């Protein structure tokens, strides 16, 4: 298992995460990406663009793969949107690994607010490009 310090650094190595103003924090031992929606993130309806949520989820799932010692690239990703994320809403990720294969991994990620409301759910398959020594 890779430590949280290293996972947080990994998330920030995705420069787009910092550029979009996404925070990466540890909460109850888990790594969480969170974002308060502002002018940078919205579409024409003044709600968070789905691509921003996808960026967060993709990174959060990659972080969970890293926790298990796998460096991965995304092969496919599906996102289902259930509610619009309004301007000024604070949203965060909850990602987990469903299948930790030798060559591929399957993950999912929920996008939630502090009240536990589910805004979107994401599923993805990753290709393992490197297995790390711990």
Binding residues vs its own copies (CB under 8 A): 10, 13-16, 19, 39-45, 49-52, 54-59, 73-84, 98-99, 101, 103-104, 106, 108, 118, 121, 123, 125, 127
Nearer to its own copies, 82 or 132 (CB): 82
Nearest-approach distance from CB 107 to its own copies, in angstroms: 9
Nearest-approach distance from CB 124 to its own copies, in angstroms: 8
Distance of alpha carbon 69 from alpha carbon 77, whole angstroms: 21
Nearer to its own copies, 3 or 45 (CB): 45
- φ/ψ (deg, to 5) at 116: 90, 5
Nearest-approach distance from CB 37 to its own copies, in angstroms: 10
Distance of alpha carbon 7 from alpha carbon 93, whole angstroms: 14
Structural contact between residues 37 and 88, judged by C-beta atoms closer than 8 angstroms: yes
Find, among 21, 33, 88, the residue nearest to 59 by Cα.
Answer: 33
């Amino acid at each position: 298992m890779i430590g949280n310090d290293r996972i947080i650094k990994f998330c920030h190595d995705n420069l787009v995460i910092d550029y979009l103003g996404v925070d990466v924090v540890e909460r109850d031992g888990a790594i969480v990406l969170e974002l308060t929606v502002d002018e940078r993130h919205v579409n024409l309806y003044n709600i968070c663009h789905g691509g921003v949520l996808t960026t967060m989820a993709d990174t959060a799932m990659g972080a969970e793969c890293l926790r298990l010692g796998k460096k991965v690239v995304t092969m496919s990703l599906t996102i289902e949107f259930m509610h619009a994320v309004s301007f000024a809403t604070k949203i965060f990720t909850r990602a987990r690994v469903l299948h930790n294969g030798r060559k591929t991994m399957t993950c999912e990620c929920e996008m939630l607010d502090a009240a536990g409301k589910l805004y979107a759910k994401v599923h993805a398959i990753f290709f393992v490009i490197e297995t790390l020594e711990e």
